């Protein structure tokens, strides 16, 4: 997630990111966040109205970063297989590195309906971009004629599960995961 | 999830299943559950000690049912590709039909550490069984020599994502999803 806002605000968002990831959004209190940044709980409300505001900001910044990286790849003139390879690589890096990913994927259900709709819209945008790559590869003959929507869901599901099992420093590095997943998906699509 | 316990207990678990799925575990109160089964909140405590007890029971019953179905398939004498096809079919049916799946996958983090460990153990058992099928297929030459663990994670991730997008009555029926996913995975494994 990119850092935004003033110094203290960034510090609060950073503390919330780590607490939400490690304890979960629901188990984290405003007191926990205040303690982590050395503020009285009352002073914390000077910077934000509620814990939910932090959740929304983290979810929004995280999905926006996923979208931004994918848009750069999809907007290029590369063959579909290479776009897919780079998309998987970018997604694996976000899953293994980005501290907001777990909060986005696990806790977004706690947002207000209108906030949830914004996040859902950006998440749908991400899936639509992946589907565009697959449909483009089918149209150009690079990929076999699969159902592009189901292939998209399968690939995104596989990639969105990584943060659940990934262990930093283990045998399965982000590079190894990217390579194995890309190989698996491209074979599944009749390419590579 | 299979129904167990006395009539009123089953009714309480059934009400909790639907409430946890629709509102989320954290947003559901003991009062909501009491209202759903026509009990005073005080009487509800006659049947269970806490909301967490219901969460544990739902998570445990659900993962146990996933395991049971997979064990039946893996224990058979079928070729690896057929085992994988049946495993995906069983998993897709649980994702699209079983009301406990969303609670298991989304809310298990709210369990006590020792309860969470039990659920994790049964979840690992499930993944190990899938890995056994893939490793068996590689050993017999049915599948190409992929990393069996990463192929397992990719397949389970794809399958565990289904409950997030599946819409009953839509174009993508459980049968269509099973067929498309099996085809995609088997091609990825160099078979089918």
A55-110 pLDDT per residue, tens: 999 999 999 999 999 999 999 999 999 999 999 999 999 999 988 999 999 999 99
pLDDT score for A3: 47
Residues of chain B in Cβ contact (below 8 Å) with chain A: 24, 26-27, 106, 109-110, 146-147, 149-151, 153-162, 164-165, 172, 176-177, 180-181, 183-185, 187-190
With respect to residue B148, please indicate whether it lies within any of the assigned structural domains: yes
pLDDT score for A98: 87
What total of structural domains would you count in chain B?
A: 1
A169-186 pLDDT per residue, tens: 999 999 999 999 999 999
Query: What would the two tokens of residue A192 be?
Result: 């590579």
Range of the domain at B86: 50-188
Instruction: Tell if the CB–CB gap between B157 and A153 is shorter than 8 Å.
Output: no
Q: Which residues of chain B have pLDDT under 50?
A: 1-3
- Taking the C-alpha atoms of residue A90 and residue A175, their distance in angstroms, rounded to an integer, is 10
Which of A156, A135, A153, A152 is CA-nearest to residue A144?
A135
Global ipTM: 0.93
- CA nearest to B102 within chain A: A106
Nearest CB among A110, A146, A162 relative to B184 is that of: A146
CB pairs under 8 A between A and B: 93
Backbone φ and ψ of A64, nearest 5°: -65, -40
- Taking the C-alpha atoms of residue B42 and residue A132, their distance in angstroms, rounded to an integer, is 55
With respect to residue A128, please indicate whether it lies within any of the assigned structural domains: yes
Residue A135 has pLDDT above 50, yes or no: yes
Query: What would the two tokens of residue A40 be?
Result: 């009285």
With respect to residue A32, please indicate whether it lies within any of the assigned structural domains: no
Residue of A51, A109, A137, A149 for testing the chain B interface, max B β-carbons within 10 Å: A109
Neighbours of A50 (CB within 10 A): 10
Residue of B84, B110, B131, B161 for testing the chain A interface, max A β-carbons within 10 Å: B161
- Taking the C-alpha atoms of residue B186 and residue B192, their distance in angstroms, rounded to an integer, is 5
Neighbours of A60 (CB within 10 A): 19
- Taking the C-alpha atoms of residue A187 and residue B153, their distance in angstroms, rounded to an integer, is 16
pLDDT score for A2: 45
DSSP state of A109: G
Q: Which residues contact A190 (CB under 8 A, 6 or more apart)?
A: A143, A144, A146, B187
Instruction: Tell if the CB–CB gap between A187 and B188 is shorter than 8 Å.
Output: yes
With respect to residue A39, please indicate whether it lies within any of the assigned structural domains: no
With respect to residue A152, please indicate whether it lies within any of the assigned structural domains: yes
With respect to residue B42, please indicate whether it lies within any of the assigned structural domains: no
- Taking the C-alpha atoms of residue A78 and residue A11, their distance in angstroms, rounded to an integer, is 39
pLDDT score for A6: 80
- Extract long-range pairs of B123-128: CB within 8 Å, 24+ residues apart: B123/B63, B125/B67, B126/B63, B126/B66, B126/B67, B126/B70, B126/B156, B127/B152, B127/B153, B127/B156
With respect to residue B19, please indicate whether it lies within any of the assigned structural domains: no
Kindly report the CATH number assigned to the domain that includes residue B78. Answer: 1.10.357.10
- For chain B, give the number of residues: 192
B137-151 pLDDT per residue, tens: 999 999 999 999 999
Q: Which residues contact A117 (CB under 8 A, 6 or more apart)?
A: none
Structural contact between residues B24 and A109, judged by C-beta atoms closer than 8 angstroms:
yes
Shortest Cα–Cα distance, A157 to chain B (Å): 4
pLDDT score for B6: 80
- Taking the C-alpha atoms of residue B87 and residue B73, their distance in angstroms, rounded to an integer, is 7
Q: Enumerate the residues of chain B whose CB falls inside 8 A of the CB of residue A189.
A: 184, 187
pLDDT score for A1: 44
Structural contact between residues B120 and B70, judged by C-beta atoms closer than 8 angstroms:
no
A7-61 pLDDT per residue, tens: 899 999 999 999 999 999 999 999 999 999 999 999 999 999 999 999 999 999 9
pLDDT score for B13: 95
Nearest CB among B161, B162, B188 relative to A185 is that of: B188
With respect to residue A18, please indicate whether it lies within any of the assigned structural domains: no
- Taking the C-alpha atoms of residue B166 and residue A156, their distance in angstroms, rounded to an integer, is 14
Residue A125 CA neighbour count, 13 Å, CB half: 15
Residue A4 has pLDDT above 60, yes or no: no
Buried b (16+ CB within 10 A) or exposed e, A167-180: eeeeebebeebbbb
């Amino acid at each position: 997630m990119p850092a935004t806002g003033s110094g203290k605000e960034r510090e609060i968002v950073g503390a919330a990111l780590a607490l939400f990831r490690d304890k979960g959004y629901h188990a984290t209190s405003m007191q926990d966040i205040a303690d982590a940044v050395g503020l009285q709980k009352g002073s914390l409300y000077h910077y934000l109205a509620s814990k939910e505001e932090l959740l929304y900001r983290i979810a929004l910044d995280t999905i926006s970063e996923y979208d931004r990286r994918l848009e750069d790849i999809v907007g290029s003139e590369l063959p579909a297989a290479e776009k897919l390879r780079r998309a998987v690589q970018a997604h694996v890096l976000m899953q293994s590195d980005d501290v907001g990913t777990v909060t986005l994927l696990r806790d977004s259900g706690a947002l207000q309906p209108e906030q949830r709709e914004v996040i859902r819209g950006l998440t749908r945008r991400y899936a639509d971009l992946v589907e565009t790559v697959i449909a483009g590869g089918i149209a150009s003959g690079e990929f076999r004629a699969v159902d592009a929507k189901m292939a998209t869901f399968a690939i995104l599901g596989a990639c969105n599960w990584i943060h659940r099992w990934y262990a930093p420093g283990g045998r399965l590095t982000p590079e190894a995961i990217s390579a194995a997943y890309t190989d698996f998906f491209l074979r599944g699509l009749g390419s590579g």
